[in-house]
Amino acid sequence: MRKAIVFLLFTTYGFAQSVTKTINLLPDTGQNLSYTNTFGEDNDYTINVPSYINNGNGTITDNVTGLMWEQTDGGEMTIENAFIYADNLVLGGFSDWRLPNPMESFSILNHQNNNPAMNTTFFTASVAEYWWTNAFQAGDNTKVWCTNAGGGIGNKPKSETISAGGTFKFHVRAVRDIAAPTIIANHFTNNVNGTITDNLTQLIWQKVPNTSVLTWENALSYAENLALASATDWRLPNIKELQSLNDESTINPSVSTTFFPTIGARNYWSSTSLPNQTTKAWYCNTQFGITTYDTKTNSNYTICVRGNPAVLGLNSIDLKSKIKVYPNPFSSKITIENTAENETYQLCNEIGQYVFIGKNIENQDFSSLPKGNYFLRINGQTNPSIKLIK
């Protein structure tokens, strides 16, 4: 049985640590198959389903992050030429292209797919083995953070690409901001209750990780049974969520020790399995922040997460001042008034799974939906949302 997401008010304690926000929300990994009967694996939680638009001009819009991507990567080249390529790219009528940062590049990987771990319906498949980001390893400008076709991210020697005399294919894929990035004054907030809020992703983290190493199955169970800060909806993070904690500007560990003082340089399990080697799961090593994988029966550390960023901030009722949605609670039908009659609706449950996406929501019969809380978005608006009860 799935556990409800519990929304809590908490006291905050800030520490100045500004960060640039370029993504709206962190996309799900795309993993939609189950690899265990133990609840808590990646497939059991779907939050911010990957969603793209092919703009028909060589560009792809990511509806979750709000970024625009080059559909076909620019081919193999050195990191120096990759910067030049992105800075001079004119595509889709835009000239403000750039190299992605590591989180952005990792965000478009699809961990249900392999080689390439991408949605090739939207992104043109290539022979790339790696894709450059704009970040060098802290203290070592000979290594660059790169995502790879297998679904990982790591700090790779820039000399390994063919154009620099190496034997691997490092390609470039440029990105641009559709909306201007914003500056968040405090990357993290200490909630003074054993939890840390990441204000960039809106996720809430366990401040002190579990001190014992666990197998993957036991890590899933530990997270599902964790009770901390009056909340019981903790879970093992998927690999994108886990990677989002990484700070490429520091090493040993590569996560803020101001907010996570005991995290150390260790291997931390994610809930994401390898689709082509299902006895293995992804983990993040916090010495540098490399994501790789291990056999599930081996033991690694566990840090837990909670939160459904797609529907946080639901106390806002701005949409309700413009339209009328009734009845609430609803049983089978949802009626909406004062619309332009061409809106696209997204109805999702408490754990972020979409139960309806389309235009004619009033024609739908929701009798079969289980009782609970649902959240209605209109025309892709993620905040505010309208909370509905069944």
Token output for 218: 């036991």
pLDDT reading at 139 higher than 80: yes
Distance of CA 209 to the CA centre of its chain: 20
CA–CA separation, 272 and 82 (whole Å): 30
The pLDDT assigned to 234 comes to 96
C-alpha separations of 83 from 23, 70, 134, 136, 378 in Å:
21, 14, 8, 12, 38
Residue with tokens 């550390």: 301
Decide if pLDDT at 106 tops 70. yes
Task: State how far the Cα of 213 lies from the Cα of 230, in Å rounded to an integer.
Answer: 24
Res. 305 pLDDT band, cuts 50 70 90: very high
Token pair, residue 241, equals 């969520």
Q: Does 11 score more than 90 pLDDT? A: no
pLDDT band at 340 (very low <50, low <70, confident <90, very high): low
pLDDT at 321: 43
Of residues 262 and 376, more confidence is placed in 262
Please report which helix (H) or strand (E) contains residue 33, including its range: none
Beta-strand pair 373-378/354-358: unpaired
The mean pLDDT of 277-290, rounded to a whole number, is 98
Residue-level pLDDT at 38: 95
List Cβ neighbours of 50 (8 Å cut-off, separation of 6 or more).
27, 28, 30, 62, 64, 110, 119
Q: Give residue 355's pLDDT.
A: 85
Say if CB 101 and CB 135 are below 8 A apart: yes
For residue range 64-89, what is the model confidence (pLDDT) as tens digits? Answer: 999 999 999 999 999 999 999 999 99
Assess whether pLDDT exceeds 60 at residue 312.
Answer: no
Spacing of C-alpha 14 from chain mean position: 24
- Taking each continuous run of H as one helix and of E as one strand, the counts in the chain are 4, 26
What pTM value is reported for the model? 0.78
Q: What is the pLDDT of residue 57?
A: 95
> What is the tens place of the pLDDT at every residue in 367-379?
999 988 887 877 6
CA 303 from chain centre, in angstroms, equals: 16
pLDDT at res. 269: 98
- Give the model's pLDDT for residue 336: 82
Q: Are 280 and 294 in contact (CB under 8 A)?
A: yes
Token pair for residue 123? 């992104």
> Given this model, what pLDDT does residue 328 score?
83
Q: Do 175 and 67 form a contact (C-beta atoms < 8 A)?
A: yes
- Is the pLDDT score of 267 beyond 80? yes
Tell me if 271 sits within 8 A of 40, measured CB to CB. yes
Write out pLDDT tens, residues 189-199.
Answer: 999 999 999 99
Q: What is the mean pLDDT of the chain?
A: 89
